[in-house]
A and B are shown apart, each in its own frame.
Chain A
Amino acid sequence: MTTTARPTPLRAVLRLGLHRGVLELTAFRRERDAVVFTVAMPAVILILLGALFDGVYPGSDVTSAQYLAPSMIAAGVASTTFINLGTGIAADRDDGTLRRLRGLPMPPAAYVVGKTLMALVVSVGEAVLLIAVGVLAFDLSLPADPARWLTLGWVFLLGGTACALLGIAVSALARSARSAAAVLNLPYLVLAFVSGVFFTPVAALPEPLRTLGALFPLKWMAQGFRSAFLPDTILPQEVVPSWEHGRTALVLVAWCIGGLLLCLTTFRWQGRRNR
């Protein structure tokens, strides 16, 4: 209750960011139709594509559906971060959420922290659902040892954060909440395609598309998840016959930093109609 000792900015960012994350989750959870469809979409795609693809990759006992599953987890995380936040922020801009926050003594970064926390929690749910579908429907085995679980963890955190920040950054492209879903779905679908999610195995993609995909985080998140779930006998199907963990970490960290910078430079409190 003292007014004299002002908390340091970083502490204020984290404290308010946490409060905002809880609030965002509460509001998200209560929009039941949004929850169901946001979370179910990647699971439905996994089931459909998994049932369509068949065959076993030569030199291993990995089926096409099992190869698809970890990549779909990455696409699912990208959807519950990138699309969820991109459309959510466009909605916040339209309904007055951002204008209200602008008028409050809140460091803007607290908003970003809250959104990212919310997206990561929803993404954990998404990942658990997709893993369950993979295990139950396609005999996907869980990561075989603690090292692979650890890989799953850091790829999730870095990849999810990078995609969340990118979603916040590109939300500025949408003119209104109504157009946001359309605006965000185009880059999402293109990325999912050139990252070898919908088109497996990734090495079968034409070279220019592969190069394009390698510029963005989704490709590396998918590759990281495959390294956690699939045996090394599948490596010949990758672009280079190695999981490239070092490079994956590097690209994802770079996107986290770049995404944060993009957020800070492109973020707009007001919609184009109301500046």
Chain B
Amino acid sequence: MTDTPAVRVRGLRRTYGDRVALAGIDLDVTCGEVLALLGPNGAGKTTTVEILAGLRARDDGEVRVLGEDPARAGLTWRSRVGVVTQGAADLAELTVGEAVRHFAHYHPDPRDPGEVLDLVGLADRARARIRTLSGGQRRRLDVALGVLGRPRLLFLDEPTTGFDPQARRQFWALIRALAAERHTTILLTTHYLDEVEALADRVVVVAAGRVVAEGDPATLGGRATARSTVRWTGGQRDTDNPAALVADLTRRYGGTVPGLSVTRPSLEDAYLELIGAPS
């Protein structure tokens, strides 16, 4: 059971009219893993996630999600998969509490609606009309509805867009708890690199419908082994051995080196490099 991957994708293609959105994506997600899908606007993240969640059709490619083809999977499969999509504007006239209680009816073993609202920090808005929620609150409701059915595999399409810093930390804690306690497999897309570093076991970078890199967030794009830049008031130098250079400088200045800093390429630098953007 544990060695069959949660998601296995080979050669996934999708075009809209004559616009190629996915030009052959390969993707593996192992059970219990938190995978971040990263990529610029229009890279094909939403298209990928919605195909994997059985919400869109694909043109070509082999897709297995929890051992089934999402285009054909039945209700039992759906009860194991949770999905938070981008840009939902439904339920406007209902209250937060009504919506969560209503959707609990769909699942064989739902979480307690009150508990879910606590988890996403919406308990004090339970009686508010969804139409009146702020952008970030609305997003939290979507997340609440996504985790309501205790899914084994959770797709999150830009889940924290519009969250304030505190809500984002709270969301991270929720995702870590889902991953750690319930071994939930999570595939999330995001534009926030700190989120990737905080949450993801592995990151896959897509650009223009192709996978351009994948790996551990700490080593993405070879940044763990990349040259460091040492800067000080008198100049700057790239080096493989910053410790030696700093020691050398310390000796030269006879104590404190003025304005000293040592930097490795950040995840953001590595990412921008990968998608070919000028940094």
A126, chain B: closest CB distance, angstroms: 20
CB-based contact A100/B109 at 8 Å: no
Chain A residues, Cβ within 8 Å of B88: 95-96, 99-100
Asked if A104 is at the interface (CB within 8 A of a chain B CB), the reply is yes
A106, chain B: closest CB distance, angstroms: 5
User: Given that A26-B98, A96-B85, A275-B57 are contacting pairs, would A104 and B90 also be in contact in the complex, using a CB cutoff of 8 Å?
Assistant: no
Asked if B244 is at the interface (CB within 8 A of a chain A CB), the reply is no
Chain B residues, Cβ within 8 Å of A269: 55
Asked if A55 is at the interface (CB within 8 A of a chain B CB), the reply is no
Chain B residues, Cβ within 8 Å of A27: 91-94
Q: Mark B25-64, 1 if CB is under 8 A from A, else 0.
A: 0000000000000000000000000000111110000000
CB-based contact A97/B91 at 8 Å: yes
| Majority SS at the chain B contact face | loop
User: Given that A26-B98, A96-B87 are contacting pairs, would A104 and B106 also be in contact in the complex, using a CB cutoff of 8 Å?
Assistant: yes
What separation, in Å, do the CA atoms of A23 and B83 have in the docked complex?
21
Asked if B149 is at the interface (CB within 8 A of a chain A CB), the reply is yes
What separation, in Å, do the CA atoms of A90 and B129 have in the docked complex?
22
CB-based contact A102/B55 at 8 Å: yes
Asked if B145 is at the interface (CB within 8 A of a chain A CB), the reply is yes
User: Given that A3-B109, A97-B90, A100-B145 are contacting pairs, would A106 and B75 also be in contact in the complex, using a CB cutoff of 8 Å?
Assistant: yes
Of B56, B78, B90, B106, the residue contacting A92 (CB under 8 A) is B90
CB-based contact A19/B108 at 8 Å: no
Asked if B102 is at the interface (CB within 8 A of a chain A CB), the reply is yes
CB-based contact B81/A103 at 8 Å: yes
CB-based contact B85/A103 at 8 Å: yes
Asked if B107 is at the interface (CB within 8 A of a chain A CB), the reply is yes
Interface centre among A15, A105, A270 (most CB of B within 10 A): A105
Indicate the size class of the contact surface on chain B: 20 to 34
CB-based contact A19/B105 at 8 Å: yes
Asked if B277 is at the interface (CB within 8 A of a chain A CB), the reply is no
B189, chain A: closest CB distance, angstroms: 16
Q: Which residue of B lies closest to A27 (CB)?
A: B93
Q: Which residue of A lies closest to B83 (CB)?
A: A103
Q: Mark A80-124, 1 if CB is under 8 A from B, else 0.
A: 000000000000100111011011111100000000000000000
CB-based contact A275/B56 at 8 Å: yes
What separation, in Å, do the CA atoms of A275 and B71 have in the docked complex?
13
Asked if B103 is at the interface (CB within 8 A of a chain A CB), the reply is yes
Of A15, A19, A30, the residue contacting B102 (CB under 8 A) is A19
Q: Which residue of A lies closest to B81 (CB)?
A: A103
CB-based contact A99/B55 at 8 Å: yes
What separation, in Å, do the CA atoms of A6 and B88 have in the docked complex?
29
Asked if A31 is at the interface (CB within 8 A of a chain B CB), the reply is yes
User: Given that A26-B93, A26-B94 are contacting pairs, would A6 and B108 also be in contact in the complex, using a CB cutoff of 8 Å?
Assistant: yes
User: Given that A96-B88, A96-B90, A97-B91 are contacting pairs, would A103 and B55 also be in contact in the complex, using a CB cutoff of 8 Å?
Assistant: yes
CB-based contact A1/B85 at 8 Å: no
Asked if A16 is at the interface (CB within 8 A of a chain B CB), the reply is yes
Chain B residues, Cβ within 8 Å of A274: 56
What separation, in Å, do the CA atoms of A1 and B54 have in the docked complex?
27
CB-based contact A16/B106 at 8 Å: yes
CB-based contact A100/B105 at 8 Å: no
CB-based contact A105/B106 at 8 Å: yes
CB-based contact A16/B83 at 8 Å: no
A97, chain B: closest CB distance, angstroms: 4
What separation, in Å, do the CA atoms of A167 and B149 have in the docked complex?
32
**Chain B 97-152 interface residues, beta-carbon cutoff 8 Å to A:** 98, 102-103, 105-109, 129, 145, 149
Asked if B89 is at the interface (CB within 8 A of a chain A CB), the reply is yes
Of B56, B75, B91, B107, the residue contacting A107 (CB under 8 A) is B75
Chain B residues, Cβ within 8 Å of A15: 105
B237, chain A: closest CB distance, angstroms: 52
Asked if B170 is at the interface (CB within 8 A of a chain A CB), the reply is no
Q: Mark B72-84, 1 if CB is under 8 A from A, else 0.
A: 0001101101110
What separation, in Å, do the CA atoms of A213 and B134 have in the docked complex?
50
Chain A residues, Cβ within 8 Å of B85: 96, 99-100, 103
Chain A residues, Cβ within 8 Å of B107: 104-105
CB-based contact B90/A23 at 8 Å: no
What separation, in Å, do the CA atoms of A275 and B90 have in the docked complex?
18
CB-based contact B90/A100 at 8 Å: yes
What separation, in Å, do the CA atoms of A103 and B94 have in the docked complex?
20
CB-based contact A95/B93 at 8 Å: no
Of B87, B92, B98, B108, the residue contacting A3 (CB under 8 A) is B108
**25 A-B interface contacts by CB (under 8 A):** A1-B109, A6-B76, A6-B108, A16-B105, A19-B102, A23-B94, A27-B91, A27-B93, A30-B94, A31-B93, A95-B88, A96-B89, A96-B90, A97-B90, A97-B91, A100-B88, A100-B145, A102-B55, A103-B82, A105-B79, A105-B107, A105-B149, A106-B75, A274-B56, A275-B56
Report which A residues bind B (CB closer than 8 A): 1, 3, 6, 15-16, 19, 23, 26-27, 30-31, 92, 95-97, 99-100, 102-107, 269-270, 274-275
Report which B residues bind A (CB closer than 8 A): 53-57, 75-76, 78-79, 81-83, 85, 87-94, 98, 102-103, 105-109, 129, 145, 149
